[in-house]
Amino acid sequence: MATKRLARQLGIIRRLSKTSLSDQSRDRPKLRQLFSYLIVIDFESTCWNDNRKCYTQEIIEFPAVLLNTSNGEMESEFHAYVQPQEHPILSEFCTELTGITQNQVDEGVPLRICLSQFSKWIQKLQTEKNIIFSSSHSSGAASEGQLCAFVTWSDWDLGVCLHYECKRKQLRKPAILNSWIDLRATYKVWMIPGILLALLGG
């Protein structure tokens, strides 16, 4: 699944030996992690190779994984194939790029049902793991639950694709999906300057 692969590539999921863990703790001070959990989301959507501006993208795969930040373990996952309604036939380019077949989306669910299933998954996590989201608590309330944030690679998934599809289809987007961490932007802010300094011998 692309979401697990993205999480591994970004270094969120790590498999460390006991030796490397002890080396790390010796070499650098412990940083307090603000979030106890992260939910990584990475949609796949309809697409065409001729950049048709008149075609609007629809989500065809809705995956999410819950990661425990204290140990890097994936503790839960949500996955659904979604039926595109506006352009129900996938382009050949889309199938080749995403690996998602026409049969998979035909057997999927409409976005409305997918969002309902996703909301139930979130509610279950909130009950079982006492998860709260930064958008729904005051600064002093973190002690009342395990703070969690959504993370994506760019603002496209939640800020563009889901946002506009919900508007077009008059669907209510879950309010918790109005707030997320853009890992691409975070990477640019924190990693690029360090890489440049290393290259320049600083």
Mean pLDDT along residues 91-119: 97
108-134 pLDDT per residue, tens: 999 999 999 999 999 999 999 999 997
Name the residue range of residue 105's domain: 2-199
Q: Is the pLDDT assigned to residue 142 strictly greater than 60?
A: no
Q: Which two tokens stand for residue 195?
A: 């890489």
Q: pTM score, two decimals?
A: 0.77
Closest C-alpha to 160, from 51, 39, 43, 81: 43
Domain count, the chain: 1
CATH number for the domain including 81? 3.30.420.10
Q: pLDDT category, 89, cuts 50, 70, 90? A: very high
Return d(Cα 27, Cα 196) in angstroms, integer: 23
Which phi and psi angles does 195 have, rounded to 5°? -65, -45
Residue 15 has pLDDT above 50, yes or no: no
Q: Please indicate whether residue 43 or residue 53 has the higher confidence score (pLDDT).
A: 43
